[in-house]
């Protein structure tokens, strides 16, 4: 909030008084913001914990609040969202996946896609293996 007001040309005194008033009226709540951000971005944008942590830190949310908000993510729900995303992105059919080179290529691509979305390595490995195995079956 501070950075945005300064970028719009407000003086330091104006920014300080505005932030003090907003805080006094309880209109600035980093905890509520972080929880809502995690809930929304995880559910609607399929973001993993690492990406959400990075986004909240970029927005200036304190580390303890970030950890608290990320703890609300159910690990099984995170895995299900990652699985759905990987399944959607897998472009090979069962016949193509019988070739080890194609399987390796698919694994690499899916792992990269999930990694860019901020999923932890253990979730990525597990989900990608399961998605490829399910497609082959």
pLDDT in tens, 75-98: 999 999 999 999 999 999 999 999
Long-range pairs for 127-133: beta carbons < 8 A, 24 or more residues apart: 127/79, 127/82, 127/83, 127/86, 128/86, 130/83, 131/83, 131/86, 131/87, 131/90, 132/90, 132/97, 132/103, 132/106, 132/107
Q: What is the pLDDT of residue 26?
A: 82
pTM, rounded to two decimals: 0.81
């Amino acid at each position: 909030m501070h950075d945005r007001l300064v970028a719009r040309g407000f003086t330091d005194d104006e920014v300080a008084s505005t932030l003090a008033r907003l805080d006094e009226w309880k209109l600035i709540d980093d905890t509520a913001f972080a929880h809502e951000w995690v809930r929304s971005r995880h559910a609607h944008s399929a973001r993993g914990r690492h990406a959400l942590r990075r986004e909240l830190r970029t927005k200036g949310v304190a580390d303890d609040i970030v950890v608290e908000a990320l703890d609300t993510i159910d690990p099984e729900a995170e895995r299900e969202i990652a699985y759905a995303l990987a399944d959607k992105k897998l472009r090979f059919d069962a016949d193509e996946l019988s070739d080890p080179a194609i399987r390796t290529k698919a694994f690499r691509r899916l792992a990269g896609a999930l990694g860019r979305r901020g999923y932890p390595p253990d979730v990525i490995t597990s989900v990608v293996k399961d998605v490829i195995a399910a497609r082959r079956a």
